[in-house]
Amino acid sequence: MLSTNFDLNLIRVFLTIAETQNISTAAKRLGKTPSALSKSLQKLRDETGDQLFIRKSSGLSPTPYAVMLERKLKAVRSDIQMAFANEKFDPKEFQGEIVIAINAALQDIFQPHLMQMLAKDAPKATFSFINRQASTYQDLLAEKVHVAVGFWSDLCSKEIKQKVIGENQFSLYARKDHPATNLEEALQSPLAILRVNGWNSEYINFSQHLMREGIVHRIQFKFEDLNAFLSCIENTDCVTPLPYFPKLDGFKHFALDKFECNIKLVACHPSSHRDAALNQWLVKTIEQAYRKYSIHKLE
């Protein structure tokens, strides 16, 4: 238990050391000397009764207690920041970094419109687009990612809010000169599957649809890399279920209406941040970008 006269400035010291895992780097960021920061770290160790960070050749490694403490303190810091942000947030004046994780299959849909809108609305911000990974939900909770764009997942944690921003229709795609002339013929071909983190990385959704219909099928290839996956479809007899995106222009496709394969597109962020002004603006912008894409597709 912390003492009644605990120095709250030590929280900032702890979080900075946890983020940098280096005393010298943390000291420079805080405008202190390494020796002064080392003394602050010792105070933290005395208060918590834990070593907190263990010195290694690569820097400082947090103890299990420090990992837990970092997560809790980041949540507290975030609540404080968001309380002020809700009062004064203005995207045109925001100068920080905003990280957006997006599935490879959706980057072709969102980024052309989204980048233009973000650059216009928040000209001073830095935007980092990264691939959505298996760790993305944890990265959202750890505030390493602001928003993740992907497909609706029934397995999503309740700590994550999935805001529906649109719906996409799946079709079965094949190379342009594929011999199949209808869906039934196409389904006799082997399947290639693009595995998407946060959606079908644990099980193959389309395969389950086929099994319910009593359709015998075989999955021949599974990919995580989008370009390798598209190359496979273009150069083999494999077929694949996908939502439309521009890179599929030129491929043969068959409607999957009877399989009810439509899927919701979502923007994910921590449930605790649902009222935060930055998150509200970012999710709204992503939703508008998808609407622009949908209108452009119909033209």
**Per-residue pLDDT reduced to its tens digit, 20-34:** 899 998 888 888 899
- Using 50, 70 and 90 to split pLDDT, how confident is the model at 104? confident
CATH classification of the domain holding 56? 1.10.10.10
Secondary element (H or E) of residue 61? strand 59-62
Domain boundary among 87, 112, 142: 87
- Using 50, 70 and 90 to split pLDDT, how confident is the model at 151? confident
Residue 149: domain span: 90-160+276-298
Dist. CA 207–CA 156, nearest whole Å: 20
102 and 142 part of one domain: yes
Q: Please check the confidence at residue 87 and state whether its pLDDT lies above 90.
A: no
**Per-residue pLDDT reduced to its tens digit, 61-78:** 999 999 988 888 877 776
Domain boundary among 87, 109, 134: 87
- Per-residue b or e along 266-284, where b marks 16 or more CB atoms closer than 10 Å to that residue's CB: bbbbbebbeebbbbbbbbe
Domain boundary among 72, 87, 102: 87
Q: Are 97 and 124 in contact (CB under 8 A)?
A: no
**Per-residue pLDDT reduced to its tens digit, 37-61:** 999 999 999 888 899 999 888 789 9
139 and 198 part of one domain: no
Dist. CA 208–CA 24, nearest whole Å: 53
What's the domain count of the chain?
A: 3
The residue type found at 79 is D
What pLDDT, on a 0 to 100 scale, did the predictor assign at position 7? 78
Of the chain, the percentage scoring pLDDT greater than 90 comes to 32
- Using 50, 70 and 90 to split pLDDT, how confident is the model at 84? low
Q: Are 248 and 136 in contact (CB under 8 A)?
A: no
31 and 18 part of one domain: yes
182 and 213 part of one domain: yes
Calculate the average pLDDT of the chain: 84
59 and 103 part of one domain: no
68 and 209 part of one domain: no
Is there a domain that residue 4 lies in?
no
CATH classification of the domain holding 139? 3.40.190.10
